[in-house]
Every structure is written in C-alpha cells, then in structure tokens.
Amino acid sequence: MTTKPSAPKISVKIWRPIIDKLDAKIKTACLRRDAFLIKVLEFELHWLDEEVSIPNSKESYDYVSKRLDKLDRNLVSLALPLDITDRLKEICSRKRIVRDAFFNRLFLLLAVSPKFIDTLLFDGVANNWRGAVWNESKHDGSFFQSGFYPLGQDINPFWAIRDGMRIYAEEAGLEDYVEPTSGKTIRVQRDPINDAVMPADSLYTTIFDRTAQDLLGLSCYVPDSRIPGNDSERERQSKLDELLEGLERLS
C-alpha cells in the first residue's frame, strides 16, 4: 500500500494573542487547523494578489518587517501543500509583501470578534455595512449558498466583509488606473492630501490604525507616505500643513 506523503511544513511567527484565540476558536468548531487553513488559502491567495494591486516599495517592506518584529510572536509550524506555499511565495515576492505579516493579518481576521472587525475595517459605518450587504446580496444565489451550506467545498470566510468594503469603496469614488509594473488596469483611490494613487480600501490594503495596539506590522500594503522620514511622507505632511494654514486664515 502506498502511503500518501504528508504536506511539507513551514514555520511562521504569529503574534501570541492571535494564535491563542484562533486555536481556541478552531478547537470549539471541531476543525483541524491546517486542513481548514489550506481551504481558506486556496480562496484567499487570489484576493491577496488582486487587492494588493500596487506593489509595495522596498522601504515599505522593510518598515512593515520592523513593526512586525516589535510584536510578541510564537513560532508556529504549518503543514501546507507545496503549490500553496509556492504561490504565496511568488505573490509576496512580486508585490513585496512580508509573508508573516500576511499570515498574522489573516489569522487576526479569522480570530477576532465582529465588533473588532467593525473597528478595523468599517470606521464610521459600523452600524450600516451589514444592512448594505444584505440589501445588495439578498437575491444572489451565492449569498444563500453561503448561508445554507457553510461547509461546502469552498471556504470563503470573508465574503460579507469583502462585499461591505467594496460597496463603501465605490461610494467613496474610485478611478481606473494602469499599474505600470503589470500593465493591468485596476481600480484605485487618490490620497486627498497629495493626490497619490493607492489601492482601493480592502481586506488586505486597509491599514489597521484605529486601535490602541500598534498593528502596522500586520500590513500587506503601506504607501510610502505613511513611512516616517520617507520623502513621500515629508511631502504629504508639508501639503497637509499648507491646507491647515489655509483653513486657519479662513477662520
């Protein structure tokens, strides 16, 4: 009898509160963590590549790495198929995403409460986004399939959150933009201060800066204008100061 080879293992360093909470949640649901994670990654790697539509700069990559190193993390071993780890490696290399930042972000989003999701991703619309998703999706077949058949073949844990973010991103105003490294036309937003092009707000591009805990190390995308001391950050701050001075003169 031929024994099926086990999946190769990789090691990631996960922020201690996240892995403790996620392991408890998965145990309660009687799931095997790695098997569940494989199904999630089969779906989410597509979205990681889609949502981080503009590659990070080398400065951004280094900045996220340093912020991640400040967190108290445990070494976690994951048994994942080689095709998944190879695909993740390729995406992270091409988009300059810190691999462990992605895993920490993914584990956080899987583990935290709905109220914390509201704080992280729906500032100002926390009481409205679920209703907006219901109104837009209630006649959609996949909406009911997700509700009535939650253990179907595809595991798509963030479908409602992603729909809610898409609704509000479109309402905020997006424009078409040809991303120069890929030649692909993507939907982007503009920084209201310096008019810089940024990916639309999404699960993997929204910066977690609405909590007391510093979660910048869980970022899959950070514009250079958010990196202290970077030329783009100084330019943005200068334009912000000019705007504030203009408002003061008007008052």
Does residue 142 sit within a domain? no
In the chain, % of residues over pLDDT 70: 88
Mean pLDDT to the nearest integer, 216-221: 97
CA distance 215 to 120: 10
For residue 241, tell me if it sits in a domain: yes
The CA distance from 204 to 36, in Å, is 20
d(CA 163, CA 155): 16
Each residue of 4-38: pLDDT tens digit? 556 788 999 999 999 999 988 888 877 888 999 99
Q: Is residue 145 part of a domain?
A: no
d(CA 232, CA 226): 8
d(CA 63, CA 55): 14
Predicted pLDDT at 153: 46
**What residues make up the domain containing 26?**
9-113+172-250
Look-up of token digits 């810089």: 196
For the chain, what's the residue count?
Answer: 251
pLDDT for res 140: 57
pLDDT surpasses 60 at 149: no
pLDDT of 135 = 77
Mean pLDDT of the chain: 86
Whole-structure pTM value: 0.86
pLDDT at residue 137 greater than cutoff 80: no
Task: Identify whether 3 is part of a domain.
Answer: no
Choose among 187, 190, 180, 193: nearest CA to 234. 193
User: What does the alpha-carbon distance between residue 251 and residue 249 come to, in Å, rounded to a whole number?
Assistant: 6
| Residue 132 belongs to a domain | no
Residue 178 in any domain: the answer is yes
Q: Say how many domains are in the chain.
A: 1
pLDDT digits (tens, 9 = 90+) for 35-61: 999 999 999 999 999 999 999 999 999
Report how far residue 3's alpha carbon sits from residue 237's, in angstroms, rounded to the nearest whole number: 61
**Is residue 74 in some structural domain?**
yes
What does the pLDDT look like over 124-135, one tens digit per residue?
Answer: 776 677 877 877
At 16 the pLDDT is 94
Q: Which tens digits make up the pLDDT trace of 99-131?
A: 999 999 999 999 998 888 888 888 777 667 787
Tell me whether residue 155 is in a domain. Answer: no
